[in-house]
Amino acid sequence: MSSTSILHSQTRKMVSQTQEPNRRKEEEQSSRKWSLQDFDIGKPLGKGKFGRVYLAREKKSKYMVALKVIFKEQIEKYGLHNQLRREMEIQSSLSHPNVLRLFGWFHDGQRIFLILEYAHRGELYRELRKSGHLSEEQAATYFASLTRALAYCHNQYVIHRDIKPENLLLDFEGRLKIADFGWSVQSRSKRHTMCGTLDYLAPEMVENRAHDYAVDNWTLGVLCYEFLLGVPPFEAESQTDTFKRIMKVDLSFPPTSHVSAEAKNLINLLLVKDSTKRLSLQKIMKHPWIIKNANPTGTCMD
Ligand code: ATP
Ligand code: MG
Instruction: Give the closest residue (by CA) to ligand 1 atom 18.
Output: 166
Does residue 44 line the site of ligand 1, with CB under 6 A? Answer: no
Residue 160 pLDDT exceeds 80: no
Instruction: Give the closest residue (by CA) to ligand 1 atom 5.
Output: 48
100 contact partners, CB below 8 Å, separation of at least 6 = 91, 116, 117, 119, 169, 177, 178, 179
Q: 225-263 pLDDT, tens per residue?
A: 999 999 999 999 888 899 999 999 999 999 888 899 999
Cα–Cα separations (whole angstroms), residue 278 to 220, 221, 274 = 10, 10, 7
Q: Where are the beta strands (DSSP E) in the chain?
A: 39-47, 51-58, 64-71, 102-107, 111-117, 122-123, 158-159, 168-170, 176-178, 185-186
Q: Indicate the DSSP class of residue 224.
A: H
Active site residue 162: yes
d(CA 125, CA 115): 22
Q: Cα–chain-centroid distance for residue 131? A: 21
Per-residue pLDDT at 3 = 35
Residue 80 pLDDT exceeds 60: yes
pLDDT confidence band for 5 (50 / 70 / 90): very low
Specify whether the CB–CB gap between 165 and 225 falls below 8 A. Answer: no
Does residue 66 line the site of ligand 1, with CB under 6 A? Answer: yes
What is the whole-number distance in angstroms between the Cα of residue 159 and the centre of ligand 2? Answer: 16
Q: Please tell me which residue in 162, 171, 180, 199 is annotated as part of the active site.
A: 162
Specify whether the CB–CB gap between 117 and 65 falls below 8 A. Answer: yes
Q: What pTM does this model have?
A: 0.83
pLDDT confidence band for 172 (50 / 70 / 90): very high
What is the whole-number distance in angstroms between the Cα of residue 167 and the centre of ligand 2? Answer: 5
* Domains, the chain, with CATH or none: 23-117 (3.30.200.20), 122-293 (1.10.510.10)
Average pLDDT, the chain: 84
Residue 68 pLDDT exceeds 90: yes
Q: Which residue has the higher pLDDT, 68 or 9?
A: 68
**DSSP strand pairing (64-71 vs 51-58):** antiparallel
218 contact partners, CB below 8 Å, separation of at least 6 = 202, 203, 270, 271, 272, 275, 278
Q: Indicate the DSSP class of residue 114.
A: E
Per-residue pLDDT at 223 = 95
Does residue 67 line the site of ligand 1, with CB under 6 A? Answer: no
Crossing angle between the packed helical segments 136-155 and 214-229, to the nearest 10 degrees: 170
pLDDT confidence band for 193 (50 / 70 / 90): low
Residue in 53, 78, 121, 195 to alter for ligand 1 test, most ligand atoms within 8 A of Cβ: 53
Q: Which ligand is nearest to the CA of 122?
A: 1
